[in-house]
Structure 1
Amino acid sequence: ILIDDLAQEHEAVAHGAPMVEAARIDGDLAALACGDSAPRRHEGERLGFVFRGMALADLAAAALVLDAARAQGLGRRLPV
């Protein structure tokens, strides 16, 4: 599991509010961007990302995923 900010997660643990078990955390976005944390250990591994930030960042991530899916012809529109 990758999280947005490892230092922020350590602070949350200190206050009794961890998002995930510390043993399950493989790194954060900074480590991923710097190449210090691999996105996958093997091809069949699922990715998980825990983000504590504002909903605006969730919306930005969703837009990137939607654009990538459309570019690859993936996904389908669901009735709302």
Structure 2
Amino acid sequence: MILALRVNVGTLRGLREGVPNLVQLLRKHRVAATFLFALGRDHTGKRVFRPGFLGNRRGVSAVRRYGVRTLFYGTFL
């Protein structure tokens, strides 16, 4: 069986912190993946104003998932 691994990177924090750590982990286990990057300005903070965004998503709050700084992109930063 062949599996394909696709990684979507949608925030600046994900690019700076998540990708290097994930690449290191994937190399350690000799796993290949395709990385897809959202280009342009990070407007994650604008989603804060949508109903239900700050609530739990898959058991993790938006603040824990994205971090406070990321939630300000597109609004104050």
Give the TM-score range, shorter chain.
Answer: under 0.3
> Structure 2 length normalisation: TM-score?
0.27
> Structure 1 length normalisation: TM-score?
0.26
